[in-house]
Amino acid sequence: MLRDLLTGLQVTAKYIFRRPITIQYPEEKPIVPPRWRGRIVLTSDPDGKERCVACYLCQAVCPVQCIDLQATHLPDGRRVAAKFDINFARCIFCGFCEEACPTYAIQLTPDFEMSTTCRSNLLYRKEDLQITGTGKHPEYSFWKVSGVSIENKDKGQGLNEDPPTNYRSNLP
């Protein structure tokens, strides 16, 4: 018991004369690592349209089921999320939703200042999550490479896209 006390005092004596590493938080912002997983945002295509195609992969992969999603179709043929809610009171910022997203619509930012005194303020709707920029992938546009026909682009007319295969030509 005395040995444990002396060990603790030794550790204390070792650090007592060193310069403190305290950060005065509101005035000084801490340096976050480049791969920090913070606030979730929904990004846009380079043409300014919504990237999310409401595929439900983010909702399926979320271990705490904090994402609520509903799909709708636009008149030009695009499928988008009519409702996209994230409950940050439940979110553990694991990043699985970002990895599962095939369109790079969901991205985690280094923003960590989300504290509040009311839990209902932690329910972010689609309007709260959307940003105007393209995020980490500025050149990517899902609808140009997807193989889906939409207004002004038929199947096989996108970037790096082959024309559709006639499966009947393979029959005997």
* Of 154 and 135, the one with more pLDDT: 135
Write down the pLDDT at residue 172. Answer: 66
Structural domain of residue 132, as residue ranges?
40-146
The mean pLDDT value for 23-41 works out to 88
Of 54, 124, 61, nearest to 94 (Cα)?
61
Write down the pLDDT at residue 121. Answer: 94
Question: Per-residue b/e over 124-135, b at no fewer than 16 CB within 10 Å?
Answer: bebeebbeeebb
One-letter amino acid identity for 106? I
Q: What Rg, from alpha-carbon coordinates, does the chain have?
A: 24
Residue 66 is assigned to a structural domain of this protein? yes
The mean pLDDT value for 139-145 works out to 79
* Of 76 and 155, the one with more pLDDT: 76
> What is the pLDDT of the chain when averaged over all its residues?
88
Q: Is the CB of residue 133 less than 8 Å from the CB of residue 44?
A: yes
Write down the pLDDT at residue 101. Answer: 94
Write down the pLDDT at residue 147. Answer: 64
The DSSP 8-state label assigned to residue 53 in this structure reads -
Helix (H, G, I), strand (E, B), or coil: what is residue 98?
helix
The mean pLDDT value for 149-158 works out to 71
Helix (H, G, I), strand (E, B), or coil: what is residue 145?
helix
Residue 17 is assigned to a structural domain of this protein? no
The mean pLDDT value for 26-54 works out to 89
Residue 7 is assigned to a structural domain of this protein? no
Residue 120 is assigned to a structural domain of this protein? yes
Residue 9 is assigned to a structural domain of this protein? no
The mean pLDDT value for 23-35 works out to 87
- Asked whether the predicted pLDDT for residue 90 surpasses 90, the reply is yes
- Map tokens 């709708």 to a residue: 72
Residue 92 is assigned to a structural domain of this protein? yes
The pTM for the full model equals 0.75
The mean pLDDT value for 125-133 works out to 93
- Asked whether the predicted pLDDT for residue 83 surpasses 90, the reply is yes
Residue 102 is assigned to a structural domain of this protein? yes
- Domain harbouring 139, CATH code: 3.30.70.3270
The mean pLDDT value for 69-88 works out to 92
Task: Indicate the number of domains in the chain.
Answer: 1
